[in-house]
Structure formats: C-alpha cells, structure tokens
Amino acid sequence: MSTQPSQHPGLNLGAPHAEAHSANEEFVFGFWVFMMSDLIIFGLLFATYVTMLGGQAGGPGPSDLFEMKSAFIETMLLLVSSFTFGMASLSLKYREDKKWLIIWLLITLVLGLAFIGHELLDFNKMFDKGGVPSRSGFLSAFFALVPLHGLHVTSACIWLLALLGQIAVYGLDTNVKVGLTRLAILWHFLDIVWIGIFSLVYLGGLA
C-alpha cells in the first residue's frame, strides 16, 4: 500500500491535489452512499432471481440458454477494464500527464463498450432460443437483473465520454478529478456486482 494513505477508498489523488481532496470529501462519500443504496436494489433483484428460479413455466431454463464461453468473455472484459481504470487513476494521481490518462480511459471505454456489445449479442442469442422475458417468471427475473447491470455500464460509459469532453475543454481541473474519482468507484462497483452475476446466475445456472 502507499506510504501516504489516501483519505478515501477509491480516491487516488495525491499530495499535489489538496484542493481536489477537500472537494472530494463530501462528493466521494456521497457517491459511496448512493452506491450502497444501489447495492440494495441489486441485492433485492438477486434475491428475486433466486426465488424465481423455479418459475420456468415449462420454458427454457439456465442450461438451455446460458453459454459458458460468452459469460467468461464478458467477465474478462469487465475485469480487465477495472484494471485499466485503476491504471488511469494512477496516471491521474502521479502525473499531470493527460496523454496516458486519456489512453487508459479510452482503453477502459472500449472494453466497456465491448462488454455491452457482447452482452447484447448474448441476449439476442437467448431470444432466438425462445428465452424472452415474457416467456416465464424466471426469464423475467433474469432480464431485470442482468440488463440493469448492463444499463449501469452504459451510463458509466456515457459519463466517461462526458468526462473526456470535460478534459478536452477544461483540462484536469478539480471538477474533472472529482468526476473521475467518482466514476472509478462506480466502475469498480459494477465489476463487483458482476462477480455476483457470473457466480450466481451463470455459473450457478450451468453447474
């Protein structure tokens, strides 16, 4: 761990960013609180999914619909993107160097978009096999939980684009730094939710 402990989890701004630090205090803590509220939403959707596993109503079930390979690819895309976002945070913290920051952010964005694209293809394949949400309670629960995560990733990508625009206009000012710090929390958090999804939904369904 760093010798100079950062003041907040997910907050990777160092000594030269004192101003951003104090601005961060409230914003980052507030964002954590929001994430925890969101966590309850995901948690209840997970619980709902489990209670509806039996409600397949004679329709296709997990083993008919899920593919290990695509679940694995999506998992890898998200995990690597979490790492690249970490690298972006490091660039922000230790170098006033926009070039590497932007490169890491772009890589993250591409990985995020690839994840969404792959997930959409996956859903399409499920539709072709008759796995549409109106088919059964089980599929309804699946299509509330997993796409909600996808929707979050989409919003995170839009936010990332908006922040890249802000970097272009204002450079690395306090607002941008605070924004990137909060987006980093969202990004890592979404990866954590995905751990739940691939373990419980995909692996649990295929086991």
Partner 1 sequence: MSGKTLSNERAQERASELKNYIVGFILALVLTLIPFGLVAFTDISRMQLYGVIGLCALIQIIVHFRFFLHITLARNKREDLQLILFSVLILAIMCGGTLWIIFNLYTRMIPSLAL
Partner 2 sequence: MNHLSDLLLGRLGWDALPFWEMLKDPTTSSIINGIIATGAAAVVILGALIVAGLLTWYGKWKVLWRDWLTSPDHKRIGIMFIVIALVMLLRAIIEAAIMRAQQAFGLGGGFLSPEHFGQLFTTHGTIMIFFMAMPFLTGVINYVMPLQIGTRDLSFPVMNTISLGLTAAGAALVMVSLVLAPFSTGGWSGYPPFTESAANPGAGVDYWIWAVTLSTLSSTMTGINFAVTIYKKRTQGMNLMRMPLFCWVSLCTAILMIFGMPPLTVATALLALDRYLDFHFFTVDLGGNMMNYINLFWAFGHPEVYILILPAFGIYSEVFANFSGKQLYGYTTLVIATMCIAVLSFTVWLHHFFTMGQSAHVNAIFGIATMLIGVPTGVKIYDWMLTMYRGRVRFSIPMVYALGFLILFSIGGLSGIILATPSVDYQVHNSLFLVAHFHNMLIPGLLFGMLAAYNYWFPKAFGFRLEERWGYRAAFSWIIGFMLAFFPLYALGLLGMPRRTVTFFSPAYLPWTLAAGVGALIILFAVFCLLMQLWQSIRMRHENAVPVGDPWDGRSLEWATPSPPPEYNFPVLPEVYSHDPFYEQKSGGKAYQHPEQYVDIEMPANTAMGFITAVTGFLMAFGLTWYMWWLVIGAGVATLIAVIARGYVRNTTRIITAAEVRRTHERWLNEVARTTPITRDHERTTANKGLAVPPEQGAVQ
Dmax (CA) for the chain in angstroms is: 61
Q: CB burial class (10 A; 0-12, 13-18, 19+) of residue 27?
A: middle
* Alpha-carbon gap, residue 75 to 47, rounded angstroms: 21
77 vs 153, which CB is nearer to partner 2? 153
Least distance from partner 1 to the Cβ atom of residue 185, Å: 7
57 binds partner 2 (CB under 8 A): yes
Least distance from partner 2 to the Cβ atom of residue 100, Å: 23
Residue 54 tokens, joined = 């039996």
Using alpha carbons, list the distances in angstroms from residue 70 to 117, 123, 191: 11, 11, 16
Q: Is 114 helix (H, G, I), strand (E, B) or coil?
A: helix
117 binds partner 2 (CB under 8 A): no
- Number of H-type helices and E-type strands within the chain: 7, 0
Query: Binds 4, which of partner 2, partner 1, none (CB < 5 to 8 A, cut-off by type)?
Result: partner 1
CA angle (119 as vertex; 52, 66 as ends), nearest 5: 50
* Alpha-carbon gap, residue 202 to 63, rounded angstroms: 9
Name the segment binding partner 2 (CB under 8 A); options: 51-59, 73-81, 99-107, 109-117.
Answer: 51-59
169 binds partner 2 (CB under 8 A): yes
Name the segment binding partner 2 (CB under 8 A); options: 64-72, 164-172, 182-190, 196-204.
Answer: 164-172
Using alpha carbons, list the distances in angstroms from residue 195 to 1, 20, 78, 188, 191: 24, 31, 10, 11, 6
Least distance from partner 1 to the Cβ atom of residue 110, Å: 18
* Binding residues for partner 1 (CB under 8 A): 1-12, 14-15, 29, 32-33, 36, 39-40, 43-44, 46-48, 50-51, 54-55, 68, 71-72, 75-76, 79, 82-83, 86-87, 90-91, 93-97, 99-100, 185, 188-189, 191-192, 195-196, 198-200, 203-204, 206-207
Chain residues in the site for partner 2 (CB under 8 A):
25-26, 29-30, 33-34, 36-38, 40-41, 44-45, 48, 51-52, 54-57, 59, 133-141, 143-144, 158, 162-163, 165-166, 169-170, 173, 175, 179
